[in-house]
């Protein structure tokens, strides 16, 4: 699948954390290094999250010098960190060309979740999302996508230290992942490599606003992450307003693509439904949603809207969300309500980058 508006930053040194194990092996071979050295480097980069080449104790000094001259490890830096009272951490990260992105760390008792970005900004201009205010600047490289995970884990647990429990990755940050398909899929391959991060594909979720060709391309992948659909409306009339992309890929075409998407025996597609007060939260809306998803193996994630003063929307009250959920439950459509995170640190997607850009 072709990338959308690809414009990668120029770098003088190789972004080796954006390389798969095979690519890294080939790159090291071009330097005259044996395959076992490539494997050592791969483990230091992804399994141990080494902060520098000097920390890679197994590598000879001569090789470290070559690597320092010809390669870089992380492709981003921390500009600012905001820590919520609920433990959520929101990162404003700077890239080599001066662009800024966001990542979020959300701890739980038995797992951590890292929400990462796939584009600098977003071209879709969804009406209820702050990233749409930023607009699209460019696609992110695979190395920049991976950098978010390394930076967050090293900040929380220390460079090279093991994580105490499972890490989930959700591609629900800035950007539309399916419009940066090649770089996103390469990053997912790196994250799932058993000799590196070793994050199982079932713990990696890609969220799309409904790019039908991208959904079909993902369906053809032999190994793929979980898929989530950012739906938020059950009629084209409402969705056209909230998601301009719906005018190109309407609900009929989107639901048809979802029906085509291969699923395991116990697997369901997640449909994310942001609850907007007075817009999409009536009992009638809930019944329309049940009808829309009647022939899809679906579960619905009801998401209280993380409001921003710059946007003309507010979240549905929790009582209304629970009443909405009851309609789904009565119709035997599985659903759950996402617990709001980071409300006190502007943790809605795009809020940090949009506001930071506005002050420059």
Q: What is the pLDDT of residues 38-56, one digit of tens each?
A: 999 999 999 999 999 999 9
Q: Give residue 134's pLDDT band: very low, low, confident or very high (50, 70, 90).
A: confident
pLDDT, residue 212, reads: 99
> Which residue among 99, 122, 126, 349 is the active-site one?
349
pLDDT, residue 12, reads: 75
pLDDT digits (tens, 9 = 90+) for 243-298: 999 999 999 999 999 999 999 999 999 999 999 999 999 999 999 999 999 999 99
Specify whether the CB–CB gap between 293 and 300 falls below 8 A: yes
From first CA to last CA, the distance across the chain in angstroms is 36
Q: Is it the case that residue 24 has pLDDT exceeding 90? A: yes
Q: Which of 149, 131, 45, 29 is nearest to 93 (CA)?
A: 149
Q: Give residue 308's pLDDT band: very low, low, confident or very high (50, 70, 90).
A: confident
H-type helices in the chain, by residue range? 21-30, 35-42, 61-70, 131-134, 142-157, 181-192, 212-219, 236-242, 251-260, 283-292, 318-330, 351-359
Q: Is it the case that residue 123 has pLDDT exceeding 50? A: yes
Annotation says 221 is catalytic: no
pLDDT digits (tens, 9 = 90+) for 314-351: 999 999 999 999 999 999 999 999 988 766 766 555 56
Tell me the average pLDDT across 20-38.
97
Q: Which of 218, 94, 194 is nearest to 148 (CA)?
A: 94
**Pairing verdict, β 76-83 and 89-95:** antiparallel
Kindly list the distances between the CA atom of residue 153 and the CA atoms of 76, 88, 163, 272, in Å, as whole numbers in the listed order: 14, 13, 8, 26
> Which residue among 102, 144, 176, 272 is the active-site one?
102
Distance in angstroms (rounded) separating the CA atoms of residues 219 and 260: 8
pTM: 0.93
Q: Which CATH superfamily is domain 76-359 in?
A: Aldolase class I (3.20.20.70)
Share of the chain above pLDDT 70, in %: 92
Instruction: For domain 14-72, give the CATH number.
Output: 1.10.150.530
Q: Give residue 96's pLDDT band: very low, low, confident or very high (50, 70, 90).
A: very high
Q: Which of 223, 224, 241 is nearest to 232 (CA)?
A: 241
Mean pLDDT for the chain overall: 93
| 48-65 CB burial, b ≥16 within 10 A, e <16 | bbbbebeebeebeeebbe
Q: Which of 284, 4, 281 is nearest to 128 (CA)?
A: 281
339 versus 79: which is more confidently predicted?
79
pLDDT, residue 5, reads: 39
Tell me the average pLDDT across 179-201.
98
What residues does each domain of the chain span?
A: 14-72, 76-359
H-type helices in 164-211, by residue range? 181-192
Annotation says 102 is catalytic: yes
Stated as kind and residue range, the H or E segment containing 234 is: none
Kindly list the distances between the CA atom of residue 2 and the CA atoms of 5, 6, 12, 120, 248, in Å, as whole numbers in the listed order: 9, 9, 25, 18, 17
């Amino acid at each position: 699948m072709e990338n959308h508006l690809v414009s990668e930053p120029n770098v003088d040194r190789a972004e080796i954390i954006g390389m798969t194990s095979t690519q890294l092996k080939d790159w090291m071979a071009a330097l005259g290094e044996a395959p076992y050295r490539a494997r050592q480097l791969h483990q230091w980069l992804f399994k141990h999250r080494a902060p520098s080449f000097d920390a890679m104790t197994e590598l000879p000094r001569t090789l470290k010098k070559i690597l320092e001259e010809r390669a870089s490890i992380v492709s981003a830096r921390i500009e600012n960190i905001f820590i919520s009272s609920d433990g959520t951490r929101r990162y404003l990260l700077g890239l080599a060309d001066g662009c800024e992105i966001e990542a979020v760390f959300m701890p739980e008792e038995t797992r951590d979740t890292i929400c990462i970005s796939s584009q600098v900004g977003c071209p879709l201009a969804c009406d209820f999302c702050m990233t749409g205010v930023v607009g699209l600047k460019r696609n992110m490289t695979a190395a920049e996508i991976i950098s978010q995970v390394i930076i967050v884990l090293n900040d929380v647990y220390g460079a090279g230290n093991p994580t105490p429990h499972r890490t989930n990755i959700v591609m629900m940050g800035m950007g539309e992942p399916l419009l940066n398909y090649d770089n996103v899929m390469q990053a997912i391959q790196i994250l799932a490599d058993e000799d590196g991060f070793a994050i199982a594909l079932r713990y990696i979720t890609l969220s799309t606003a409904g790019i039908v060709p991208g959904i079909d391309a993902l369906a053809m992948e032999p190994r793929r992450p979980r898929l989530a659909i950012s739906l938020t409306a059950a009629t084209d009339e409402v969705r056209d307003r909230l998601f301009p992309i719906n005018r190109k890929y309407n609900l009929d075409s989107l639901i048809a693509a979802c029906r085509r998407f291969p699923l395991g025996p116990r697997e369901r597609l997640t449909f994310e439904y942001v609850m907007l007060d007075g817009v999409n939260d009536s009992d009638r809306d809930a019944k329309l949603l049940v009808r829309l998803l009647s022939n899809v193996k679906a579960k619905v994630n009801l998401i209280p809207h993380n409001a921003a003063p710059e946007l003309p929307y507010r979240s549905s009250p929790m009582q209304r969300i629970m009443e909405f959920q009851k309609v789904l439950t009565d119709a035997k459509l599985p659903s759950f309500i996402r617990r709001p995170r980071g409300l006190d640190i502007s943790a809605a997607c795009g809020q940090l980058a949009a506001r930071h850009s506005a002050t420059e």
